[in-house]
Amino acid sequence: MTHALECPKGKDFTSVQLPNDDVQVDASHYDSDKGECGGFGSVSGKIEIEIKISHEREVNRACSMPQNPYPSGECNPDLCLRGHQKECYGLSWNPNLSGHLLSASDDHTICLWDISAVPKEGKVVDAKTIFTGPTAVVEDVSWHLLHESLFGSVADDQKLMIWDTRSNNTSKPSHSVDAHTAEVNCLSFNPYSEFILATGSADKTVALWDLRNLKLKLHSFESHKDEIFQVQWSPHNETILASSGTDRRLNVWDLSKIGEQSPEDAEDGPPELLFIHGGHIAKISDLSWNPSEPWNVYNDEDPDGSVDPERQGS
């Protein structure tokens, strides 16, 4: 697996070898005294730096374009995208339109670039469209996974906004809803349903929404003890959702379990809370599901930017 770590004025892309769950275990190697079966391998657990990319300023987020991942390992900074006046944290490549990139910024705006239309000799690209609807810091932005013209944004003004790039109005979203009682830090569209999405907030909750009726919140996931920084749907299961934040917890939720709880089990937490990982010593800034392993999640831990692979049993 590979992951990007923050470094002074640049970005490191690293790799580490993980154990293979499919390896056949030889029963003849069973140790009855220790109750163990297997042995020790020679594979190093050290994280190796594969690629270094220099950058003029501090790097807040890295995101690869799905249509052009550079599988050979080559990675060179080709373009400078210009449009924001302050730092930006949210990035999202359009999975349906190659070269279309969104970014969310502290300057209260969202920029859209189309790098596929840039001449080969060009190095600086101005934003194709700048959306000015939010009234506070825009924390995150995400393209809809099934509709090429739709995307969502969340901001410190506590709002969830849904935008349509086909509209000529760049200051007013198609839909706007007061999503939480504090800053909204993240959002994620369900990869299996065109209507379902989730948002995470500083109010310690994850909210579930249906695009067909944003006036009514479908459900509120409550277990985190502090601000939520990231939320992401599993790419392998329609009802599985992960969230993380300042409380140093990574929670995995199962929508299919909502409401399935007896009064006696209420003390154990909400029924939809499938798993809690609490092994971190600092806030969890980001997380990402492994696209190849159904129950693997990778997350960033501050302040040292360490990478932690989590594995939940199905």
What is the CATH number assigned to the segment(s) 65-311?
A: 2.130.10.10
* Predicted local distance difference test score (pLDDT) of residue 118: 74
pLDDT band at 296 (very low <50, low <70, confident <90, very high): confident
Task: Report the pLDDT value the prediction gives residue 29, as an integer from 0 to 100.
Answer: 61
pLDDT tens for residues 168-185?
A: 999 999 999 999 999 999
Q: Which amino acid is at 6?
A: E
Domain residue ranges of the chain, discontinuous segments joined by +: 1-20+42-59, 65-311
Residue 240: the pLDDT is: 97
- Number of residues written out for the chain: 314
Of the pLDDT bands very low, low, confident and very high (cuts 50, 70, 90), residue 277 is confident
pLDDT of amino acid 163: 99
pLDDT at 91 over 70: yes
Q: How many angstroms separate the CA atoms of 161 and 149, rounded? A: 14
- Average pLDDT value over all residues in the chain: 81
Choose between 115 and 196: higher pLDDT.
Answer: 196
pLDDT at 30: 59
| Residue 27 pLDDT level (bands cut at 50, 70, 90) | low
Query: Averaged over 84-88, what is the pLDDT?
Result: 93
Does residue 281 have a pLDDT over 90?
Answer: no
pTM: 0.74
In the chain, % of residues over pLDDT 90:
54
Question: What is the pLDDT at residue 51?
Answer: 57
pLDDT at position 50, please? 61
pLDDT at 79: 82
Least confident of 148-152, 226-230, 269-273, 300-304: 300-304
Confidence grade of residue 311 (pLDDT, cut at 50, 70, 90): low
State the pLDDT at residue 174.
98
Give per-residue pLDDT as tens, 207-258: 999 999 999 999 999 999 999 999 999 999 999 999 999 999 999 999 999 9
